[in-house]
Amino acid sequence: MPELPEVEVVRAGLAPAVTGATIAAVSVFDERALTRHAGDGAQFEAALTGRRIRAATRRGKFLWLSLEPDRPESDGPAREAIVGHLGMSGQMLLRAPGAPGERHERVRFDLEHPEHGEISVVFADQRTFGSLAIDALIDTPDAAAGGYGSPEAVVPTQVAHIARDPLDPAFDGFAFRAALVRKHSAIKRVLLDQTVVSGIGNIYADEALWAARLHPETEASALSTRSVNRLLAEVGAVLHKALAEGGTSFDAQYVNVNGQAGYFAHSLHAYGRTGQPCDRCGRPIVRVSFMNRSSHFCPHCQRLPRGSSSSRPRTTQE
């Protein structure tokens, strides 16, 4: 599933093309792409045609295109947005007007930009777990910007329960540390809990834990302040590096708006490297089952603390 870096790469690619653009037409080819939307395809098309896009914003793995109010005289923040979630295989692609349909194309937006002219945004999704919806924007409780990419202190109702991510300027490291004190589950489970911290999925959790030398089954509440600070620093470093390298692409599904794959897969130290030598100590990376997924770590560099209540799962090497 695309994680924060992959979604941010998409947002950054969309932003200059859609900000200030008017939606000239919307074509819904598959209503399965609107599972989170309250209306049907015809209503979705009618409600968006003629609207102007104000900004492209992201929180965690969600992104949204805020819409100018129907009444131009309104000076307040945007109150509606097109909310998107890429699911397992969703793509947002920029295409020239009239370009042939994409494989697995579900929705197409034809835009008119005052500087860039006509352009199309295509939502393609092979597995149909992704979604688009028109959603109301509500004020953020902390009065900070709702997400990365816009200064407006609003967030879609569908995203309001999602915690801020580590790259968000308003991310509260103190609150995160305080939350860990109350968590008696494995630290990796906490990192994947989008209500505690958003945007971190399986890949970047494994990479950050490897960098911080923490076993994924370490009880969160048992971590010292120094360990938590080190973990947060490594999470930020891993996410920034992944962003610089365009995200992680293992197949043709994870691409930017131009259809290009990221290359962070070449920089991985733990994830997907079962049996390969650890880049620190040379011992084999192992894989264990974890929450219907897998964890990858070095059992020598990332030792489970003595007396931990967590039980070490059976490891496998491929």
The catalytic residue positions are: 2-3, 61, 293
Instruction: Provide the token pair at 178.
Output: 């305080």
Q: Is 81 helix (H, G, I), strand (E, B) or coil?
A: strand
Distances 97 to 23, 93, 103, 165 between C-alpha atoms, Å: 13, 12, 16, 35
Question: Residue 120 contacts by C-beta under 8 Å, 6 or more apart in sequence?
Answer: 94, 95, 96, 97, 99, 108, 109, 110, 111
Q: Residue written as tokens 């929705």?
A: 107
**Nearest in space to 297 (alpha carbons), one of 285, 305, 308, 289:** 285
Going by DSSP bridges, is the β-strand pair 105-113/117-125 parallel, antiparallel, or unpaired? antiparallel
| 248-10-113 Cα angle (round to 5) | 160
Question: Residue 227 contacts by C-beta under 8 Å, 6 or more apart in sequence?
Answer: 212, 214
Alpha carbons within 13 angstroms on the beta-carbon side of residue 269 total: 24
Separation of alpha carbons 262 and 239, rounded Å:
13
Separation of alpha carbons 187 and 200, rounded Å:
12
Phi, psi of 119, rounded to the nearest 5 degrees: -155, 155
Separation of alpha carbons 72 and 94, rounded Å:
27
